[in-house]
Amino acid sequence: MSGYDAVVVGAGPNGLVAANHLLDHGWSVLLLEAQAQVGGAVHSDRELDPDFVQDTFSAFYPLAAASPHLRSLGLEEHGLVWEHAPAVLGHPTPDGAWALLHRDREVSAGLLEQSAPGDGEAWLRLCAQWDRVGEHLIGALLDPFPPVRHGLGLLPRLRAAGGLSFVRTLLLPAAELGRDRFAGPGAPLLLAGNAGHADIPLDAAGSGLFALLMSMLGQSVGFPVPRGGAGELAGALARRFTSRGGELRCSAEVLGIDVADGRARGVRTADERYAVRHAVVADVAAPRLFGSLVPPAQLPSRVRRGMDRFQLDPSTVKVDWALDAPVPWAAAPPYPPGTVHVADSVDEMTQALGQVAAHAVPARPFLVAGQMTTTDATRSPAGTESMWAYTHVPQHSSRDAGDGSVRGVWDRDDCERFADRMQERLERLAPGFGSRVRARRVLGPRELEARNANLIGGAIGGGTAQLHQQLVFRPVPGLGRAETGIAGLYLGSSAAHPGGGVHGACGRNAARAAIAHARLRRLVPTGAR
């Protein structure tokens, strides 16, 4: 049969990791990408000003730096260079103080100790507990479910880290975790802000584990960025793939997956049909894969039923700025951070995320922001700053919890008014911010989706990260792995376990499953067809 051993649909980080892994196994692999360039939500551009590099979507990569699936690819040999800001993360408060996470845990602890005696020691104790479990916990999260090897490794280490008492810590909601272990406001702000990168409510179990994961990654690997822009990470993945014989076609949207006798046989673009011998790996949002690329009639009924209840994560508004000068923080932090969180308090953060969950446009949005030139001097001319901030808004808004000026329909007017609201938050902490803006771009839900079809309605996580759609429930109850119920078709996007973030695990797990099944078919040729 002509064609390829595997076709990978979508060249986001998961598709690129899957394609590399399948190629390393000796398969012929075709990678098809709808957009004109690879990377998905790992992309950078110079649209605002030719002298400024903006990361169009994602920007900081602690999960990539910690992921064995990306580390094992040796991307440094393909041009990837990581850069770090002087401080990993900073959270300015209206009284002029900063909560700061430094890559050196002793420095982080020293700064926390200044704000509340005892908090430095408490931070170091938390780090020491994490040291015992971190590697296996991350391994268990990134492996296909159930994670047998890392799960078994984790059990004795949990005991050594404090047993049930530490398990309780892992289960605390993020808002409670800070209060439980610290006296001052600094550590709770750092933890809750890190939890706010996912859409798990700060007062629900699961958010504390995410807070710890991100905070401790900040201590161990930092929040690195690729020198030159996020696109350099995707570029290194693509260069590795093509330099080893992989075939890549951009501007090639896959419109359908051919299924016959319960097996994926190939894919279709507008003008080509590609047959596959072993596998189609889809780095595609679950609602698109199981609703349009594969017609519902061909789906197993449990997948069809499960997709009826599939829950997206909230929508997103992202603002990029080219600044003529660095951010004029009212009080300069002792170590300039790359990532910045903006909220007056943990309570305010909880309230803003609660408003999103209650379908209200937040009055005082919680911002995740990035000072990119501070982190990587190549992003814009010396003495300037390439800056961004994003925040979440409801997928369907019923009201504006603010001054009523945003209708929640996310046309240009809504986007600009809401961007003003976001910018105002920075202006209060950094008076004069607005006067330094050389150019601004607002990407609302529609613009995000137009640039990457996987970002449905501006959802950036491939589906909610809440517990009811994790592990065996992701993307639908009973899947939990890359298998889709259609032989030879694998879900390799962030809609699969373990979900959003640039770690490549969804792609790698899909590739592994495809290889394992092909091996099985060779051993049992007729039964597996």
- Could you check whether the bond before residue 498 is cis, i.e. omega within 30 degrees of 0? yes
Q: Which stretch binds ligand FAD (CB under 6 A): 8-16, 102-110, 324-332, 472-480?
A: 8-16
Q: Which stretch binds ligand FAD (CB under 6 A): 5-13, 81-89, 136-144, 175-183?
A: 5-13
- Could you check whether the bond before residue 475 is cis, i.e. omega within 30 degrees of 0? yes
Q: Is 145 in the site for ligand FAD (CB under 6 A)?
A: no
- Which residue from 6, 7, 8, 11 is in contact with ligand FAD, where contact means CB under 6 A? 11
CA distance 407 to 380: 35
- Which residue from 4, 27, 52, 60 is in contact with ligand FAD, where contact means CB under 6 A? 60
Q: What angle do CA 386, 390, 396 make, to 5 degrees?
A: 155
User: Residue 342 is inside which H or E element, if any?
Assistant: strand 337-342
CB of 314 to ligand FAD, least distance (A): 12
Structure-derived torsion over alpha carbons of residues 322, 328, 334, 335, reported in degrees to the nearest 10:
0
Q: Which stretch binds ligand FAD (CB under 6 A): 37-45, 94-102, 211-219, 346-354?
A: 37-45
CA distance 378 to 386: 10
- Which residue from 27, 61, 82, 98 is in contact with ligand FAD, where contact means CB under 6 A? 61
The answer to whether 32 touches 304, Cβ cutoff 8 Å, is no
Nearer to ligand FAD by C-beta: 113 or 449? Answer: 449
CB of 453 to ligand FAD, least distance (A): 5
Q: Is 373 in the site for ligand FAD (CB under 6 A)?
A: no
Nearer to ligand FAD by C-beta: 15 or 92? Answer: 15
The answer to whether 320 touches 72, Cβ cutoff 8 Å, is no
Q: How far is CA 438 from the centre of its chain?
A: 28
Q: Is 387 in the site for ligand FAD (CB under 6 A)?
A: no
- Which residue from 115, 215, 454, 509 is in contact with ligand FAD, where contact means CB under 6 A? 454
- Which residue from 340, 414, 500, 517 is in contact with ligand FAD, where contact means CB under 6 A? 500
Nearer to ligand FAD by C-beta: 132 or 497? Answer: 497
Nearer to ligand FAD by C-beta: 186 or 500? Answer: 500
Q: Is 199 in the site for ligand FAD (CB under 6 A)?
A: no
Q: Is 501 in the site for ligand FAD (CB under 6 A)?
A: yes
Q: Is 10 in the site for ligand FAD (CB under 6 A)?
A: yes
Nearer to ligand FAD by C-beta: 30 or 158? Answer: 30
Contacts 24+ apart (CB under 8 A), 175-180: 175/202, 175/203, 175/207, 175/346, 175/347, 175/349, 175/350, 176/203, 176/208, 177/208, 177/211, 177/212, 178/346
Q: Is 254 in the site for ligand FAD (CB under 6 A)?
A: yes
CA distance 183 to 180: 8
Backbone angles phi, psi at 319, to 5 degrees: -120, 135
Nearer to ligand FAD by C-beta: 41 or 476? Answer: 41
- Which residue from 455, 476, 489, 505 is in contact with ligand FAD, where contact means CB under 6 A? 455
Which one, of 312, 362, 359, lies nearest residue 342 by Cα?
362
Residue corresponding to tokens 């976001």:
422
| Residue 382: burial class (beta carbons within 10 Å; 0-12, 13-18, 19+) | exposed
Nearer to ligand FAD by C-beta: 99 or 455? Answer: 455
CB of 42 to ligand FAD, least distance (A): 5
- Which residue from 113, 119, 232, 283 is in contact with ligand FAD, where contact means CB under 6 A? 283
CA distance 493 to 500: 8
Beta strands in 245-307 (DSSP E): 247-249, 256-260, 263-268, 273-282
CB of 292 to ligand FAD, least distance (A): 8
- Which residue from 7, 31, 48, 59 is in contact with ligand FAD, where contact means CB under 6 A? 59
The answer to whether 42 touches 234, Cβ cutoff 8 Å, is yes
Total residues contacting ligand FAD (rule CB under 6 A)? 39
Nearer to ligand FAD by C-beta: 316 or 350? Answer: 316
Which one, of 189, 214, 187, lies nearest residue 119 by Cα?
187
CB of 438 to ligand FAD, least distance (A): 21
Q: Is 172 in the site for ligand FAD (CB under 6 A)?
A: no
CB atoms within 10 A of CB 395: 18
- Could you check whether the bond before residue 146 is cis, i.e. omega within 30 degrees of 0? yes
Q: Is 15 in the site for ligand FAD (CB under 6 A)?
A: yes
Which residues of this chain interact with ligand FAD, rule CB under 6 A?
9-15, 32-35, 40-42, 57-61, 63, 253-254, 283-284, 316, 318, 390, 452-455, 460, 462, 493-494, 500-502, 506
